[in-house]
Amino acid sequence: MNAAPDAVGAGTTGPGSVAEAVAVQEELRPLVDLVGPGPSAPATVAGLDVAYAEGGDLLAAAVTVLDARTLAVVESAVGVGRPAFGYVPGLFAFRELPALLAALDRLTAVPDLLVCDGHGLAHPRRFGLACHLGVVTGLPAIGVAKTPLVGVWDPPAAERGSWSSLRDGGEVVGRVLRTRDGVKPVFVSVGHRMSLENATAQVLALTPRYRLPETTRTADRLCRDALAEAQQAR
């Protein structure tokens, strides 16, 4: 699962400017597979999340791999380091990608699907974190976000499983999905090698009890714990 530096987008140091980062996104965007259909019954699903220190000078990236049938964590890994890029909306992938890839490389087995705490196609340049990770690793990937980055939508019905289209510039870029009855929806978009229909089905399978997928919940806990440990070790 090792990614070539050029595919990551700038070798060992990352892009040197906003213009360079945008150019990388524009270069890699045509490589995204938005059709899939992707695995309908994955055996393992990986959640990816990043926690930042209050001062923003340290981050911890976590990957938790779940058995897709039981939702039990079967493997996990973390990567701790400094953000690799500045805080620029729409370019978060460049901050987080090196640490996330380091965590993925520590896994002993390749997961069948990546579930990112963020966006995929639902991005100003149609190349969010889930797209970037999918292209770099070659793995099926989807984005599940708590809040939107782009687009307009009608509220979905109140029942679990209801959804409405997330549209931006007249284009469907994702779905606004209700994972719990009467609870705020999440924002689902394709990252790579997945159809939107399948991405929606996978998110519902990963949310049997809570609003957020179990992949996100477990990765969130792990990266927060890893960050706290790293701060204590300073």
Place of tokens 């140091």: 13
- According to the model, what pLDDT value does residue 63 have? 97
Burial class (CB in 10 A: 0-12, 13-18, 19+), 108: exposed
- According to the model, what pLDDT value does residue 210 have? 96
Neighbours of 207 (CB within 10 A): 25
Per-residue pLDDT of the chain (234 residues; tens, 9 = 90+): 555 334 444 333 567 789 998 998 999 999 999 999 999 999 999 999 999 988 768 899 999 999 999 999 999 999 888 887 777 877 888 888 999 999 999 999 999 999 999 999 999 999 999 999 999 999 999 999 999 999 999 999 999 999 999 999 989 999 999 999 999 999 999 999 999 999 999 999 999 999 999 999 999 999 999 999 888 876
- According to the model, what pLDDT value does residue 1 have? 58
- According to the model, what pLDDT value does residue 213 have? 97
Burial class (CB in 10 A: 0-12, 13-18, 19+), 77: buried
State how far the Cα of 118 lies from the Cα of 132, in Å rounded to an integer: 11
- According to the model, what pLDDT value does residue 11 have? 37
State how far the Cα of 126 lies from the Cα of 197, in Å rounded to an integer: 18
Q: Could you give the strand order of the β-sheet that contains 141-145, starting from the edge strand earlier in sequence?
A: 73-81, 59-67, 44-52, 113-116, 141-145, 186-192, 171-177, 163-168
- According to the model, what pLDDT value does residue 234 have? 66
Place of tokens 């196609």: 121
Alpha helices in the chain (DSSP H): 5-8, 18-28, 92-105, 129-137, 196-205, 214-233
State how far the Cα of 97 lies from the Cα of 74, in Å rounded to an integer: 23
State how far the Cα of 220 lies from the Cα of 57, in Å rounded to an integer: 18
